[in-house]
Structure 1
Amino acid sequence: MEEQVVERSVRRSGALVDYLARHLRRRSESALGPLGLRSRHLVALTVLRERGAITQQDLARELVLDGTNVVGLLNELESRGLAERRRSAEDRRRHVVSLTDDGVALLCRAESALAAVEDEVFAALDPAQREQLHELLTAATAAASARIC
């Protein structure tokens, strides 16, 4: 009976995923540091690139942050010229946030740095295995997200 418990625990993936996530996070933070970015900056810049101009309120919803935290985040991005806020033409009470050309350029540099980190962390996997891992993680993430909502 004890052998079955050990064998089943060896097949568990959670600890491996956690280990890789922590390793990937540490390496990613090291790669983003010289660019003056943290992961929260990267996520916000990515959302702004994908969504285009977006209201500050919608950005807060998209990032799952309260308004105060979004203001602080946008202050940091704006002070570096990576994003800009302007009053909405339709509703002067709202701010519309957009990515600047400098923001696009820095985001591209950050994504290149992060691609190099992934290449390092997943070097033991061939391209087909990396694609399979991505598909499996995408499916697991979608299933987890569906349970949360």
Structure 2
Amino acid sequence: MTIPTADDQPTESSGPLLEHLARLLRLRTENLLTPLGLRPRHFVTLTLLRDGGGTTQQALAARLAMDGTNVVGLLNELESAGLVARRRSPEDRRRHIVELTDTGHATLTQAECAVVAAEEEVLGFLSSEERHLLYALLRKATSETEVRCTEAVL
């Protein structure tokens, strides 16, 4: 068995670069979301709820790739802040439907402005076209991953 050397490694590994970029963006985003009482996971959850409309806690857990128990805790935080509301599903009384409140919509709008500012700081050296391409590629990669992960769970 031979031990791989630096010459054997791929020269274009995206993982470490994505991780580093995500860390920089996460740190800056956290600093800007904190005054709004939000953390990045709150922001992601609110965005998914806005974009997808009301959804069950179970479906939200799958989209967030989180354990259901952790999602309940996350939703408890958002609900106590008045950002989301849970109601019983009319089709299945055992399930809860989660929806953004008006306060949740307003807070999400403020948070989106904060995230734009964070992205400007971290990605400001990219041209508009490069940012659009980066977004499109990330969107494609994440949506394809979501589909494969969801299919694997079912």
Partner of 2:123: 122
Partner of 1:135: 136
CA offsets per residue over residues 102-136 of structure 1, 9 Å max, x none? 00010111011001111111111121222222234
Deviation, structure 1 residue 19: 2.1
Correspondence 1:62-73 to 2 at 5 A: 62-73=63-74
Q: Which moved more, 1:84-93 or 1:32-41?
A: 84-93
CA offsets per residue over residues 42-80 of structure 1, 9 Å max, x none? 111111111212122222222222221121111111111
Identical-pair percentage: 55
Deviation, structure 1 residue 139: 4.6
Partner of 1:57: 58
How far apart are the structure 2 equivalents of 1:115 and 1:13? Answer: 23
Partner of 1:42: 43
How far apart are the structure 1 equivalents of 2:147 and 2:97? Answer: 30
Where 1:37 maps in the other structure, the secondary structure is coil
Partner of 2:94: 93
Supply the AA of the counterpart residue of 1:104: H
Partner of 1:16: 17
Where 2:42 maps in the other structure, the secondary structure is helix
Aligned-residue Cα RMSD (Å) equals: 2.5
Supply the AA of the counterpart residue of 2:24: H
Q: How many matched pairs?
A: 144
The answer to whether the 8 A contact 2:32-2:114 is kept is yes
Segments of structure 1 that go 5 or more residues without pairing to the other structure are none
TM-score (norm 2): 0.79
Deviation, structure 1 residue 142: 5.5
Deviation, structure 1 residue 145: 5.9
Segments of structure 2 that go 5 or more residues without pairing to the other structure are 1-5
Partner of 2:26: 25
How far apart are the structure 2 equivalents of 1:84 and 1:76? Answer: 11
Supply the AA of the counterpart residue of 1:19: H
TM-score (norm 1): 0.81
How far apart are the structure 1 equivalents of 2:18 and 2:66? Answer: 26
Partner of 1:81: 82
